[in-house]
Structure 1
Amino acid sequence: MRGFPGMIGSIDCMHWAWKNCPSAWQCAYGDRKGAKSIILEAVASFDTWIWHAFLRVMRAQNDLNFFAKSPVFNNVLQGKAPKVTYCINGRMYDGPYFLVDGIYPRWSTFVKTVPYPRSAKEKHFASCQDGCRKDVEHCFGILQARWAIVKGVARLFNVESLRSIMMMCIILHNMIVEDEYDYDVVDEYEPDTMNNSRTRIYCAHDAIEEPVQHEPLESDGRYNELISQRYTALQKPYMHNARQIDLI
């Protein structure tokens, strides 16, 4: 739907300022400027539906430190993620990816923008990537506009209470999106001369015609080896560069 085949959403982090952070945790929840905040990591799709939310990690002063402890790829590492194949520029790829900003690493599961685009195609790709990546930022803005307790600073002392408040707001947000979004409306696109193929990545009310296939269970030794292989496969910068070039 966004013109990126195989893309399942955008991932980013939101900082929730914590006014009453306990003194013992001042360093753990503070950034390099001394501001105290709790970080929320979320994955959102084109309709601002939140598919993944992770909150409360100590000693995570920025998005990159927070991502290092995030469970967003647990299903992929355990072999429980659905198998996805798609074609870009005549080349077949397997494994979905997220649209991210510049702080994230150049992994095979991410697609970043071109920092200094020169050609017309690179500028067009950078414009599309920046626009679609803001789906998750748009989602954060809706959360803060809809729930005043999230827009303001956190005033409680208990981290679990703050986590429950944030998750409750996310659940209510998803309920509103599912109730109000019109998935049957005909989507109209501007003519795109560089990429004529469009891929619909999500529809909440579509029936699944074929069962989702997962990898078979393995023994403990083989299972740990597969996890190591999958984790190494996630960190392939050349796959990131090849997919980015094909998208351009």
Structure 2
Amino acid sequence: MRSPNAHDVARLYSAHEERRGFRGMLGSVDCMHWEWRNCPVAFKEQYTRACFFGMAGSNNDINVLNQSPIFDKLKNGTFSSALFEVNGHEYSKGYYLADGIYPDWATLVKGYSCPTEEPTIKFTRFQASARKDIERAFGVLQGRVHIIRIASRSMSVNRIRRVIECCLILHNMILEDNNFVLSKWEEIFTTEEMENGMERIRNRGRDRDIIAREIRDRDMHNQLTEDLVEHIWNLPPTFRNAN
């Protein structure tokens, strides 16, 4: 129930690179639709949800975000506090794998819609394979919890939010109890980490515009994608992207 620190993020980097081949990967982003049966006409198409996958440490972890999908979490920078290097270039923010509906941000990596060269074909295949985790997670969640397989009959947006969050917490608890976790968070903080965390909180409002510009940097998005294409292409032939 807390944001990961630099050690947690580093462990995620290592686990995803070992399993998927993507260096600096935090998880995957996708959307799941839950129909609102009693949605007032005035609210039509105003409430959307998106989920991000992998950050809380389990192999099938799902976390609901509020009105702006992943954007608030990406903007505050708390999920991107560990450096990594790809193809000789250093990056300060981790990234999520996404499909074509998401923008070209520095913290989102998408596959190619029509790859024509061998490196981009291989990269797109690896990217699509890694993103299957979140689709499977949604399938497991809906199969396990009947209430989200039918249209929501609640009259309140807050109640809908509490129901889905409860389902996700229970889902994650089951995974942890069955030892299906990628990386468990340790409640250990050094004095330096606590001081850095407080400093980040104090500067969050002041630095929000700067961070937002960095995240929306399309040039950085393109550079990271090109570096990852080269990185995936140079993986040894014996490496197999886990499914």
Range class of TM-score, shorter chain? 0.7 to 0.9
> Unaligned regions of 5+ residues in structure 2, if any?
1-15, 230-243
Partner of 1:54: 65
Distance, in Å, in 1 between the alignment partners of 2:201 and 2:64 is 31
Give runs of aligned pairs for residues 66-77 of structure 1, distance below 5 A. 66-67=68-69, 70-76=71-77
- Give the aligned residue type for 1:157: M
The CA deviation at 1:170 is 0.4
For 1:209 and 1:156, the matched residues in 2 are separated by 40
Q: 1:204 aligns with which of 180, 184, 189?
A: 184
| Separation in 2, partners of 1:159, 1:111 | 31
Q: Secondary structure at the match of 2:65?
A: strand
What is the SS of the residue equivalent to 1:115? coil
TM-score by length of 2: 0.74
Q: State the secondary structure of the residue aligned to 1:98.
A: strand
Larger helix proportion, structure 1 or 2? 2
Structure-2 change in CA distance of 1:215 and 1:230 (3 Å)? farther
- Contact 1:10 / 1:99 at 8 angstroms: preserved in 2? yes
Q: Which residue of 2 aligns with 1:193?
A: none
**Paired position in structure 2 for 1:33:** none
Instruction: Give the Cα–Cα distance (whole angstroms) in 2 for the partners of residues 15 and 203 of structure 1.
Output: 28
Unaligned runs of 5+ in 1: 30-37, 58-65, 184-201
Letter in 2 for 1:93: Y
CA contact (8 A) 1:42 1:136 kept: no
Give % identity. 31
1:207/1:121 CA distance change after superposition, 3 Å: farther
Alpha-carbon distance in 2 for matches of 1:155, 1:119 = 49
Contact 1:82–1:212 under 8 Å retained in 2: no
Q: Mapping of 1:54-203 within 5 angstroms?
A: 54-55=65-66, 57=67, 66-67=68-69, 70-76=71-77, 80-81=78-79, 83-182=81-180, 202-203=182-183
**Deviation for aligned residue 1:86:** 1.2
CA RMSD of aligned residues (A): 2.8
Alpha-carbon spacing, 1:219–1:92, altered in 2? closer, same or farther (3 Å): closer
User: What is the rounded CA distance, in whole Å, between the counterparts of 2:49 and 2:201 in structure 1?
Assistant: 35
Task: Pick the structure with greater CA Rg.
Answer: 1
Aligned residues: 206
2:223 to 231, 239, 242: 242
Q: Does 1:16 align with 2:18?
A: no
What amino acid maps onto 1:71 in structure 2? Answer: D
Deviation sequence 1:60-111 (CA, Å, 0-9, x none): xxxxxx439x4222431xxx45521112123222211111110111111110
Deviation string, structure 1 residues 138-163 (Cα, Å, up to 9, x no partner): 22111111101001111222222221
